Amino acid sequence: RPTFLSGIQPSGRPHLGNYFGAIRQHVDSLNEPGDHFFFIADYHALTTIRDAASLRTNVRDIAATYFALGMDPARASFFRQSDVPEVTEISWLLATCTGMGLLERAHSYKDKIANGIKPSVGLFTYPVLMAADILAYDSTVVPVGKDQVQHVEMTQDMATHFNTRFGEVFVRPEARLPVRDDMAKVPGLDGQKMSKSYGNDVWLFESGKPLKKAIGRISTDSREPSEPKNPDELVLVDFLKLFLGDEELQDWRARILAGGESAPGYGHLKVRLAEAMDEHFAAPRAKYEELMGDPAELDRMLLKGAEKARERAVKVLDRARMACGLR
């Protein structure tokens, strides 16, 4: 019986990349038989959020977003990472078997450094805590976006290192990407990977004027609409692909490619994108707003979700402690 597990950081409001790369897959996976664990990675978020009130608000924001988008607490344990403190102990056990070289190869760490982010030790050891998150529940399927695949592979390595030393304790997980490649790595407004920490993201429930403003920032060039263009080179078309039906998308693509009188300008495409996105999220946005009105209920739902998760993690930690001689 498979165990699905994934997490999301409450490091800001979830963006379109989080939605298409992760949240949607998580909600869809509830239709597959198995056990389902999804969590809000608040320990991880401490590497970037240093303010208690913001962290609490962000956690509720992510919870309301998931519940509004169809996360069903009757079918999944949806919880706060820090409500299962066993993962921090598992993380230590894994750290003692993990070579520095493995962590030094992490792309996400290297990209953040290259983007001028000053690293803490916590940011460096992030993949070890993530491995503990996955291994703590005997997870077998980890639905993530492309940027997280390397971290799941590192988890496999850590599980193997531990098991080789101490016996079969941890179950080896596999990453699962969205079927569509454009959803596995959603571009940001500047064409790079959409990421909260790069400031090129769009909140998935953005609407009205702020949405138009965000979409207005999608990078374009100064070519005239009448000039024929390759639609596959336009970031704007990458965004349209996420929201339009195939027939409409092919029509826009053909008109961009042909150029001339009937070719759409970038402004025209941006208006259509704002409209399609607004409409796509209209119903969950209303639900999200309603849920955000009752923070105590959100907290209660998260605590309830942690019960089953903790039960499972306690067992796995017990196994690991016994295997390495701590008991």
User: Which residues define the annotated binding site for L-tryptophan?
Assistant: 133
Site string for ligand AQP, 189-218 (x = CB under 6 A): ----xxxxx---------------------
Tally the C-alpha atoms within 13 A of residue 109's C-alpha that lie toward its C-beta: 20
Kindly determine how many residues on this chain lie close enough to bind ligand AQP according to the rule CB under 6 A. Answer: 22
11 contributes a contact to ligand AQP by CB under 6 A: yes
User: Binder to ligand AQP among 3, 5, 8, 59 (CB under 6 A)?
Assistant: 8
Residues that constitute the known binding site for ATP: 9-11, 17-18, 145-147, 186, 193-197
Interface region with ligand AQP, contact rule CB under 6 A, candidates 19-27, 214-222, 223-231, 245-253:
19-27
Instruction: Give the span between the Cα atoms of 188 and 241, in whole angstroms.
Output: 14
Beta carbon nearer to ligand AQP, 17 or 231 = 17
DSSP 7-41: EE--SSS-BHHHIIIIIHHHHHHTTSSSEEEEEE-
User: Binder to ligand AQP among 24, 56, 176, 185 (CB under 6 A)?
Assistant: 185
Catalytic residue among 110, 112, 213, 270: 112
| Largest CA-CA distance found in the chain, in angstroms, rounded | 77
Q: Tell me, yes or no, if 193 is annotated catalytic.
A: yes
Instruction: Give the span between the Cα atoms of 95 and 128, in whole angstroms.
Output: 6
CB atoms within 10 A of CB 262: 10
What values do phi and psi take at 12, rounded to 5? 160, -175
Which burial class, exposed, middle or buried, applies to 175 when counting CB atoms under 10 A from its CB (0-12, 13-18, 19+)?
buried
From the centroid of its chain, how far is CA 148?
Answer: 9
Q: Tell me, yes or no, if 112 is annotated catalytic.
A: yes
Instruction: Give the span between the Cα atoms of 246 and 244, in whole angstroms.
Output: 6
Q: Answer whether 142's CB lies under 8 Å from 174's CB.
A: yes
Span 33-72, contacts to ligand AQP by CB under 6 A: 41, 48
77 contributes a contact to ligand AQP by CB under 6 A: no
135 contributes a contact to ligand AQP by CB under 6 A: no
Instruction: Give the span between the Cα atoms of 44 and 182, in whole angstroms.
Output: 26
CB of 112 to ligand AQP, least distance (A): 7
Interface region with ligand AQP, contact rule CB under 6 A, candidates 17-25, 168-176, 214-222, 248-256:
17-25
145 contributes a contact to ligand AQP by CB under 6 A: yes
User: Binder to ligand AQP among 3, 125, 139, 148 (CB under 6 A)?
Assistant: 148
147 contributes a contact to ligand AQP by CB under 6 A: yes
Beta carbon nearer to ligand AQP, 87 or 323 = 87
CB of 65 to ligand AQP, least distance (A): 12
Q: Tell me, yes or no, if 229 is annotated catalytic.
A: no
User: Binder to ligand AQP among 3, 9, 81, 140 (CB under 6 A)?
Assistant: 9
Q: What is the 3-state secondary structure (H, E, C) of 74-105?
A: CCCEEEEHHHCCHHHHHHHHHHCCCCHHHHHC
Alpha helices in the chain (DSSP H): 16-18, 24-29, 42-45, 52-68, 86-95, 100-104, 107-114, 121-124, 126-135, 149-166, 181-184, 208-216, 235-243, 246-258, 266-280, 282-292, 295-324
CB of 149 to ligand AQP, least distance (A): 8
Catalytic residue among 185, 193, 287, 308: 193
Show which residues are catalytic: 112, 193, 196
Site of interaction with ligand AQP (CB under 6 A): 8-9, 11, 17-18, 20-22, 41, 48, 144-145, 147-148, 184-186, 193-197
